Structure 1
Amino acid sequence: MDNHTIKTVFKEYIHPLDSKVIQKMIDNAEIDKYVKKFDALTFINAFIYAQMKQLDNLQRISDTITRKKTVQRLVGIESISKSQLSRKNSEMPPAIFQAILHHLIQQIHQLLGPQKADKALGELHLIDSSTISMCLSQYEWADFRETKSGVKMHTSIVFCDGVSYPNEVIVTPARPADETQLDALIVPDKNVLHVFDRGYFNFTTFDAYCAEGIRFVTRIKTNTVVKVIEELSIDPSSPITRHAVVNIGKMKHPVQLVETVDSKGNEIRIICNDAKVNAQEISDLYRNRWQIELFFKWVKQHLVIKKLYGKSENAVYNQLFLAMITFCLTLLMKINLDYRGTLLEMLNWIRDYWTTSMEQFISDIFKGPERTSKGRRRLEHERIFEETFKQYETGEAGHLDDVTINSII
């Protein structure tokens, strides 16, 4: 029997998690040592299902599992209370979910990295953070501002050929500056080009990256001291207004400086420590940085992040990592099926067909349109006129005087 005939979409969806690998992590951490009913694997399945179906509170998760037999079979538990969900969410160590996320990222990278990385520029890693604001009285551990709390997702995404996926995600309270996590998001690989904004600006760090061969593109601040080493020629027809080799601030290593304007006409000054990248490429690379903003927007709109399941540090961190895991599982399904639609379309297909067999799922998502159109068909009299006119132009119209024959034959 075909494996796709008996496998449901949800079972195939969570298959990349590799339950054997996860179980080893759980056993080593002794998470399920005294657990009888709601073990860690069941918890993971339940909360991935909740992310996929956008169940935004624990009561909805509890009710859905308790009322629906199909959910019970696929998740692996017949009933669970809101308090049990909350307790388990607070007890689970976030390191487990971060390790699972890395496991999925490695699978995506193996599928996409070698075939999509740009030969000249290498891998493009975009770095930024996104803040989730929270109520100060309920999340006092998440230090942010005097009036509210918050956490930050410090994220590095790989962007190539229109596809974005996380390379690293670090969750911290919101107050520490972005630059404190930059080293952890940098990949010490000469084939990787990192792009980040002014929130990570640090002369000492940049000098260290130059010495270690770590390539980067970033925007400099308006008050940055620039010492020109050499002015370079520019294409007058391009939007670039200046290209030079410079020293900035207290940096010892020279960098390329490119000045251009944004869509609103504001001046942008960009630096790059790779001498092989030309001015137009530097400008385009920095513009690609907005892809990470689109990534954050997608995750916040289509997964459960803005409404939190719990108030403890573990509960919040676990939810954010599970959202990233759900993103990666959706992308893996799209890649493995070679589905050409958008990632949101793939997620919606999975949401609608999660109990269906993979055979039916594959058949339906690749089914052609039920009605076909041949387009605007030419009328018969138009064809007759064109052929008759062509005969007239070539001098072969004598037969038109003979009414005994058909002029089209």
Structure 2
Amino acid sequence: MIKHASLFSQLIALIDRKKFHELVYQHQSERFAKKFNSWEHFVAMLFCQIAQAKSLREICGGVACCMGKMKHLGMKKAPNKSTLSYANAHRPWEMFQDLFYEMLATCKMATPGKHKFRFKNKLLSLDSTTISLCLSLFPWAKFRRTKGAVKLHLLLDHDGYMPSYAYISNGKKHDVTIARTISLSPGSIITMDRAYNDYRLFALWTEDRIYFVTRLKDNADYEVVKNFKVPQKRNILSDQLIRFTGARAKKDCPHDMRKAVVWDNVNSRQIVLLTNHLDFGASTISAIYKDRWQIELFFKALKQNLKVKTFVGTSENALYIQIWTALIAMLMVKFLQFKSRFGWSLSNLVAFLRWNLFTYRDLWEWIHSPFEVLPIEPQPVQYSLPLQVPGQHLY
């Protein structure tokens, strides 16, 4: 007797079915549905992400090949290509967005208690990645004359390197526009690259006791108010208190800022950092900005291990559903990574899950000992041949 469902079934069990159906009712996702419900739609799109199905045909065919194991998933039958395509084009993507935040609340319970730094402030990174699209297939995603694109804006929490905020926009929307809409708690430290330089935003954050670490623009006009002592045998070249002197910069940001020049040994160059935090040492400011690289690694892992570069639908709604499902799948994988004692890398965990999606074994034992927990095989059925009557052939 098989005591466990497939790994895929146990992975999907991380979703609270009650909250899922509440979201379905809230967004009226099944208002005109007849047979293919929202749960079956979500399972099919999650299968697309974990199994890395490249087309609607592969999703429907892959699910159909495993229909004997689909009852554990709450599916009656595999969808047709036209049915799945219509659902992607017409069902509200906002439901998948809200499901992402529901899953995020579950994952936060398993994240490490704090980041690697000694200070207790919440540390965040803000950045965006551009997803290139073919303009002839995605005419709604106009970016340049001959190119299409959308942007995925992400706020990464360094407590476990989990995304705490995500937003999808067209490729033309400026990063600063999104940064102005993000709500941050007082005392938080947010690090970002030079694309987010906005003096009015810097002043607003300073007045709200929100700290930032970014790179100073090359053409910034300022005067040095005070020179701080530089730590010995570190990569800090200078540490200064500055005040902006440009007419517009002085008006938008009248507060004193801190400028630290850091030597980058890897690329043999100077990096000029700007921050409104006046108490931390220059070495700590440098380490905070260096840890911003984790959001770049998150984007890299998302694009390499899940389906966010090629899409199974060309409508805006279908693309948004696929990206939000990819983010939900990433949260699930990160949750397993936190719970495991094996020390998985994220790419290896995704690959091993893909190879063992429909094997029968206990998920939680498997993530601790993937090479020791063997799959459970069903007992073979014994068949007996009928007795042969003299003078009669069996075939």
Using the size of structure 2 for normalisation, the TM-score is 0.86
**In structure 2, what residue type is equivalent to 1:255?**
M
Which residue of the other structure, out of 257, 260, 263, is the alignment partner of 2:262?
260
Contact 1:121 1:193 in 2 (8 A): no
Post-superposition Cα deviations, 1:48-81, rounded to whole Å, max 9, x if no partner, equal 1110010021111111222332454354142322
**Pairwise CA distance, 1:311:** 1.2
Shift of 1:284: 1.2
Q: Corresponding residue for 2:329?
A: 326
Q: 1:169 aligns to what?
A: 166
| 2:158 counterpart SS class | strand
The within-5 A match list for 1:249-328 is 249-250=249-250, 251-262=253-264, 263-328=266-331
Q: Does 1:245 align with 2:245?
A: no
3-state SS of the aligned residue for 1:142? coil
Given that residues 49 and 329 in structure 2 are in contact (C-alpha distance below 8 angstroms), is that contact kept between their aligned partners in structure 1? yes
Structure 1: segments with no counterpart, 5+ residues:
371-409
In structure 2, relative to structure 1, the CA distance for the partners of 1:147 and 1:226 (3 Å cut) is same
Residues 106-151 of structure 1, C-alpha deviation per residue, up to 9 Å, x if partnerless?
2222322535474515222111100011111222221211111100
Tell me the alpha carbon deviations over residues 310-332 of structure 1, each in whole angstroms, 9 at most, x when there is no partner. 11111111111100000001111
Which of residues 201, 208, 214 is equivalent to 2:197? 201
What residue identity is the alignment partner of 1:101? F
Residue 229 of structure 1 deviates from its aligned partner by 1.3
Deviations 1:163-191 (A, max 9, x none): 4221111001101111110123452242x
The 3 A distance-change label for structure 1 pair 347 and 35 is: same
Whole-Å separation in 1 of the counterparts to 2:213 and 2:300: 23
CA distance in 2, matches of 1:45, 1:158: 27
Please tell me the residue identity of whatever aligns with 1:65.
V
Match of 1:16, SS state, is coil
Which residue of structure 2 aligns with residue 217 of structure 1? 213
Deviation at 1:361, TM superposition (A): 6.4
1:183 counterpart residue number: 180
**Structure 1 Cα separation of the partners of residues 39 and 219 of structure 2:** 52
**Corresponding residue for 2:134?**
135
| Deviation (angstroms), 1:338 | 3.9
Deviation at 1:33, TM superposition (A): 2.5
Q: Which deviates the most, 105-114 or 277-286? A: 105-114
Match of residue 49 from structure 1: 47
Larger Rg: 1
- Change in Cα spacing, 1:115 to 1:180, as seen in structure 2 (3 Å) is closer
Given that 2:6 and 2:69 are in contact with CA atoms closer than 8 Å, whether structure 1 keeps it comes out as: no
Per-residue Cα deviation, 1:190-219 (whole angstroms, up to 9, x for no partner): 2x2100011111001100100011111111
The verdict on how the C-alpha distance between 1:337 and 1:239 changes in structure 2, with shifts beyond 3 A counting, is closer
Q: Does the 8 A contact of 1:9 with 1:357 survive in 2?
A: yes
Q: Residue type of the partner of 2:223?
A: K
CA contact (8 A) 1:31 1:40 kept: yes
* Structure-2 residue corresponding to 1:83: 82
Which residue pairs with 1:61 in the alignment?
A: 59
In 1, Cα distance between equivalents of 2:295 and 2:41 = 30
Q: 1:29-61 CA distances to partner (integer Å, 9 max, x unpaired)?
A: 221133221111111111111100100211111
Is the partner of 2:19 in helix, strand or coil? helix
* In structure 1, C-alpha distance between the alignment counterparts of 2:162 and 2:226, rounded to whole Å: 38
Aligned residue pair count: 365
Contact 2:7–2:363 (8 Å) recurs in 1: no
Residue of structure 1 aligned with 2:6, choices 5, 8, 20 = 8
What SS does structure 2 have at the residue aligned with 1:151? strand
CA contact (8 A) 1:245 1:254 kept: yes
Q: 3-state SS of the aligned residue for 2:123? A: strand
- 2: CA distance between counterparts of 1:93 and 1:338? 38
Counterpart of 2:263, as a letter, is V
The amino acid of 2:198's aligned partner reads N
Structure 1 residue aligned with 2:381: none
Partner of 1:404: none
Partner of 1:39 in structure 2? 37
Stretch of structure 1 that moved more, 338-347 or 226-235: 338-347
Distance 1:115 1:269 in 2: 28
Q: Secondary structure at the match of 1:114?
A: coil
Q: CA RMSD in A?
A: 2.3
Gaps of 5+ in 2: 374-395
- Structure 2 distance, partners of 1:8, 1:59, is 22
1: distance between equivalents of 2:371 and 2:54? 35
Q: Which residue of 2 aligns with 1:152?
A: 151
Q: CA deviation at 1:261?
A: 2.4
Answering whether residue 342 of structure 2 is matched by residue 346 of structure 1, we say no
Once the two structures are superposed, the pairs formed by residues 393-404 of structure 1 within 5 Å of their partners are: none
Distance, in Å, in 2 between the alignment partners of 1:174 and 1:138 is 16
TM-score (norm 1): 0.83
Q: Is the partner of 1:188 in helix, strand or coil?
A: coil
Distance 1:226 1:337, change over 3 A: same
Following superposition, which runs of at least 4 residues in structure 1 exceed 4 angstroms of deviation?
115-119, 367-370
1:393 match: none
Tell me the equivalent position of 2:377: none
